[in-house]
Amino acid sequence: MQSIKRKIVNFEVAKDDTVVPAADLDHDPTHDRVDHRPEGVLSAETSKVIYFTQEGRHSIYLSISYLPLTGTVAGQAVEIERPLEFFIPVGQTSEDAQWISALARQMSNTARLTGDFGAILADLQKVSWDKGPVRCGVDAYGKPRYHTSVVAAIAWSFIDMLRNRGIVDAHGELLPLVDRIENQRARHSGQSIVVSDDAAVAKVGDCPDCQSAMVLRDGCPTCDTCGYSKCG
């Protein structure tokens, strides 16, 4: 037995090496701050969006660029595409060019600094105007979608682009990192991607205006097809 020849002034109980759970090693680079746009070419996609107002048929081009970043899942490095820039080319409309440009810049700044663009897109879908509903896109049943304004229609169109790419759900919320990586791999291998359109949202009756199913939005029964809301 080894003897102690010095005065004991402090002590601690020896601990076993702690094993960090694999889930704690995950790192999603989507929310990391990107101070500057990297030089060179980024992967991007452009969608031509058709919408209808009281004044007739309109079209607009929307673009999103993606920055490849390295993340970590279960301790393993993975590459994930991060939406970085939202483009709405000016000159497509006359009177709305200023707010269209401002809208795109705001979304791009938020995407670059925090990656939390979903909240902005969700809020923009609540914008209304006094020119009547705007028809743009179709729902999961093939019925026309009606929005409360052109701004709301554009916001929904951006969400639809990201949803079809397997990045967000039908409300613009980011899917879990593992799901996004699997969707990215599937897309690169030519497989189809299906992200549920309100499949997990509880239905709360039928809309009195268009008879589509209503769902709860901020605690209020709302129709995503025509925009009817029992709260106003």
Q: What is the DSSP letter of 68?
A: E
Average pLDDT of the chain to the nearest whole number: 79
Query: Where is 71: in which H helix or E strand?
Result: strand 56-73
What pTM did the predictor assign?
Answer: 0.72
> What sign has the CA pseudo-torsion 10, 13, 17, 20?
negative
Residue 151: is its pLDDT beyond 80? yes
Residue 53: is its pLDDT beyond 80? yes
Q: Which residues of 21-56 are buried (b: 16+ CB within 10 A; e: fewer)?
A: eeeeebbbbbeeebeeeeeeeeeeeeeebebebeee
Average pLDDT over every residue of 66-83: 89
Domain definitions of the chain by residue range:
42-200, 201-232
Chain position carrying tokens 């993606």: 66
Residue 108: is its pLDDT beyond 60? yes
pLDDT recorded at residue 46: 94
Q: For residue 32, give every residue at least 6 positions away whose Cβ sits within 8 Å of its Cβ, in sequence order, or none.
A: 69, 115
Given pLDDT bands bounded at 50, 70 and 90, which one contains residue 30?
A: confident
Average pLDDT over every residue of 34-42: 87
Q: pLDDT tens, 174-227?
A: 888 888 988 898 888 887 776 766 443 445 577 888 877 776 665 567 777 777
